[in-house]
Amino acid sequence: MKYKDHDYTLELSTATQAAREAADLIRDRAGRINGESIRKKGMNDLVTVVDEEAQRIIIRVLEETFPGYSVLAEEDDKGSGSEENEGFRWVIDPIDGTTNFAHGVPPYAVSIGLQRGDEVVVGVVLDVSRDEIFTAVRDHGLQVNGRPESVSGTEALSESLITTGFPYRSIGHLDLYLEVLSDFMTHARGVRRMGSAAVDLAYVAAGRFDGFYETGLKPWDVAAGLLLVEEAGGRVTDYLDRHNPIFEEQLLATNGRIHAEMLSLLARMQDVYR
Ligand code: IPD
Ligand code: CA
């Protein structure tokens, strides 16, 4: 599984193993989360003891095989790693969809991406609630449970099922958000809110949803998922149609065919970043 000058076979299998070990813990603890196990990081922003334990498992597994690679992880966003790692960095969300998990509602997922410089080169999203694994190495396509899959062929927004994330940490732009949501409800076949951006992206990649947009996402929510979409033949940009939005906090991911139509409805939110 070569991309440019590097073979990513070992990175993919190690990230897959890390995701599976974390998923075993998460599955075991699901439905047994009580109030003392939940902490608030900010308004409506939760972390459970299971997020923290799962993250430790993932980092341990990755660092055993790749001790020099940097790490950026949701529950410890200071990052780590040596300078001598040729620009490799794991970007980890131990549970994407923590609020769902804390309430016992699917989906929730483990998300592990590997960046080299500005590019995401490996992506693994494991939907724990359905035990489905979405994997990609750049230039080698998307696999869902080991089978190749691709984005949908839907040509028009009017025939599309769209997914989004509601603002919840900061609701300063709520009126504008609701106007745009109402445009999507009017112009698309349907709109969903799953509660896990990693699963939203994985489902766009696998051709289930035709498009996804959300404002205010963090690198660990999107790193793996955006590679899945690109490798499945889709397109990922910010609301200004600029490529590689991992740090942009604006994300539009589509099958490519409805990208322009979605961009035009999102034009009013071009200056909104959270
Ligand atoms: C959240 C989920 C959610 C999205 C939020 C994310 P977390 O991640 O992806 O769908 O709307 O913006 O922060 O906090 O559950 O890991
Ligand atoms: Ca997340």
pLDDT in tens, the chain (274 residues): 999 999 999 999 999 999 999 999 999 988 766 666 666 766 656 677 888 999 999 999 999 999 999 999 987 755 555 555 779 999 999 999 999 998 899 999 999 999 999 899 999 999 999 999 999 999 999 999 999 999 999 999 999 999 999 887 777 788 889 999 999 999 999 999 999 999 999 999 999 999 999 998 999 999 999 999 999 999 999 999 998 667 778 999 999 999 999 999 999 988 777 6
Can you give the pTM of this predicted structure?
0.94
| Residue 190 Cα to ligand 1 middle (Å) | 21
Q: Which residue has the tokens 């190690």?
A: 14
| Residue 5 Cα to ligand 2 middle (Å) | 31
- What is the model's pLDDT at position 121? 97
- Using alpha carbons only, how large is the chain's radius of gyration in Å? 18
- Choose which residue among 95, 96, 126 to substitute to test ligand 1 binding: the one with the highest number of ligand atoms within 8 A of its C-beta: 96
- What is the model's pLDDT at position 164? 97
| Whether the Cβ atoms of residue 51 and residue 92 lie closer than 8 Å to each other | no
**Cα–Cα distances in Å, from 80 out to 70, 92, 224?**
5, 12, 19
Residues flanking ligand 1, CB < 6 Å: 74, 93, 96-99, 165, 195-197, 214, 216-217, 221
- Backbone phi, then psi, for 113, in 5-degree steps? -115, 155
SS3 at position 154: coil
